[in-house]
Structures are given as C-alpha cells and as structure tokens.
Amino acid sequence: MSDTKGDRPTAAAGRSRTVLVSFLGAIVRKMGNWMPIAGTVELLTEAGLDAPSVRTAVFRLKKRGWLVSESREGMRGYALTPAALEALAAGDEVIWHARQPADLGDGWCFVNFSVPESSRALRHRLTAHLTALGFGNIGSAVWIAPARMLPAAQHAIAELDLTGQCAIFVGDYVAGQDLSTMVRGGWDLDEIDRRYREFIGEYAAETDRLAEAAVIEGRRAFVTYLAVVDHWRKLPFRDPGLPREVLAQDWSGPAAVQLFERMVTILEGRALAHAAPYWSAQPRTTGKADSGDALQQTS
C-alpha cells in the first residue's frame, strides 16, 4: 500500500514541470522567448502552483538545457535555448495541429527492429519514440502507423543510431486478420477515446459560459487557458490519426479538437494580455476586467 502523503511532493513536482512546459510553449514564446523569474512565479502561483515547486521546475529545466539565465531591463529571468525552441516547435505540429485522420488509401508504415538484450535501454528508448510518434505495436518488435509517419520514424531511428538494426516498409494492408481488429490490438483506442471524452466533459460547459460572457476577467482567462493547454497537449500524442474507416462511428477525437480550438479562440488573447504586464519593470495595475480585448486576435 502506497503512502499517499509521501506521494504528494512527487505528484506536485510532476505537475509543476508539465505546467511550466505548457507555460513556455503557450506564453513565453509569444513574449520574446524570455521570462522574468519573479513574474513567472507570480503567474504560475495564480494557476495553482506553489512558489518553491515553480522554482524547482525552472531549475530542472535549466539543468536539462532548456533555459539559460538572462536579465532584461533590470529583471532577472531566463531565455529559452535553441534546444527548448526546437523541442517546443516539434510538439506544436501535434499539439496545435492535431493529426487529421489519415487516408486509408495511402497505406501503412511498418517498422521491425532487432535490438539485442544487451542494449535493452536503447530498445526501450526506441519503443518510447515510436509510441510518442503514434505507432502501435501489432507483434513482437513490429510497429505500425499511417504511411505519412515514415519520415518521422526514419528520423527517430537515425537519432538513436539504430538504422542498421531496423527494417521499414510502406505498403497496403491486403488480406488476413480484419483490419479494424488488428488496429484495436495495436492501440488502446478505448483509452484514447476516454481521454478525449474526459476533456470534453471538463471544458464543454465552461466554454459555453465563456462564449456567452459579456466580460472575461484577465486572471480567469489566463488560468483557464493554461489549464486547457496543459490538459490538451498530452492527448494528441496518443492519437495516431488513424483512418476513419477503422474507428468507431462515435469516435470523440474530432469533437475534442473543435472544443480545444474554440477555447483557444476565446481565451488566448486575453491570457496573453493578462500575462504581458509581468514582463515589464513598471508597476502593474490590477482589477481591469477583460483586459485581453486589445489582444483578442493575438496568435
């Protein structure tokens, strides 16, 4: 039996790290790829984190090579490194442009690899890479994804220097086991669908309320926007964008994508407007409702 109290610091640290990464991608890059540490702590405290956890998360990302110390206008802060910008940009292609269903006629990409037991850690890294790209496992060391994932698979395999130990094929599925059955064996589609439905259940009513509101207070916009982005960004990576023909008729992915895009349209400009004064050395004014109207069209 686990010690629930003992698990809390670890869970809090994990949440602080994911929220900070979401903050870097959704806010900091639009503020010139730099953040003031004091303002960042204050903003993320508004979002429900505690200051020590934020500072620890910043320190860990600095050690990871994502942040470098840099002061601006007399304010201590951190700039995003090229490594961070590259990683965030790679994630954008999935997070902000959710995978559309593949065309069944384009075929499939198959990856088979043979990595010796002595290189188990490397093998695990490869399977983690393929899973993150949306590949499903349909047999011993056999992975499959829509054919459009070929370049990404080749890049991931080359990065690990495993090209000589992998075989990659692209082609049609001709006959044999029912395709939909095979797909369900390769991906946990029920779990992916459940997570989409969970997202819809959590934010659909709030989106309607925000859409109908005459005024949206800036802090509320910022906190809700960051929460939505942080929740959403984990979901598209699990979805391989399979052809509609192999998905259930009530697949909830498209509805979840529409809801996310609607929330971004409503909240992004207001969230950025609320965050902007924290990047200034000048005293901030507070209490202005709907301060994001001027940045409503910010993208």
User: pLDDT digits over 60-119, tens only?
Assistant: 999 999 999 999 988 999 999 999 999 898 788 777 765 678 888 888 999 988 877 777
The answer, yes or no, to whether residue 159 has pLDDT greater than 90, is no
The answer, yes or no, to whether residue 17 has pLDDT greater than 80, is yes
Could you tell me which CATH class the domain 4-95 is placed in? mainly alpha
pLDDT digits (tens, 9 = 90+) for 261-289: 999 999 999 999 999 999 987 656 554 44
- What is the pLDDT of the chain when averaged over all its residues? 84
Q: Above pLDDT 90, what percent of the chain?
A: 44
Helices (H) and strands (E) in the chain, counts: 10, 7
The answer, yes or no, to whether residue 11 has pLDDT greater than 70, is no
The two structure tokens encoding residue 124: 């695990």
Distance CA 49, CA 237 (A): 25
Q: Are 249 and 180 in contact (CB under 8 A)?
A: no
pLDDT digits (tens, 9 = 90+) for 19-75: 999 999 999 999 999 999 999 999 999 999 999 999 999 999 999 999 999 999 889
Residue among 148, 170, 138, 156 at smallest CA distance from 99: 148
Distance CA 278, CA 36 (A): 8
* pLDDT (average), residues 175-186: 80
Q: What is the DSSP letter of 164?
A: G
Could you tell me which CATH class the domain 108-171 is placed in? alpha beta
Residue among 200, 181, 189, 201 at smallest CA distance from 238: 189
Same fold, 4-95 and 108-171: no
Distance CA 272, CA 267 (A): 9
Report residue 33: phi and psi, to 5°: 65, 30
Higher pLDDT, 134 or 260: 260
Determine which helix (DSSP H) or strand (DSSP E) holds 54, and give its type and residue range: helix 51-63
What are the boundaries of each domain within the chain?
4-95, 108-171, 189-295
Length of the chain: 299
Confidence of residue 14 (pLDDT cuts 50, 70, 90): low
Whether the predicted model's global pTM rises above the 0.75 cut: yes
Give how far Cα 47 sits from Cα of 7, 66, 177, 271, Å.
Answer: 21, 22, 49, 12
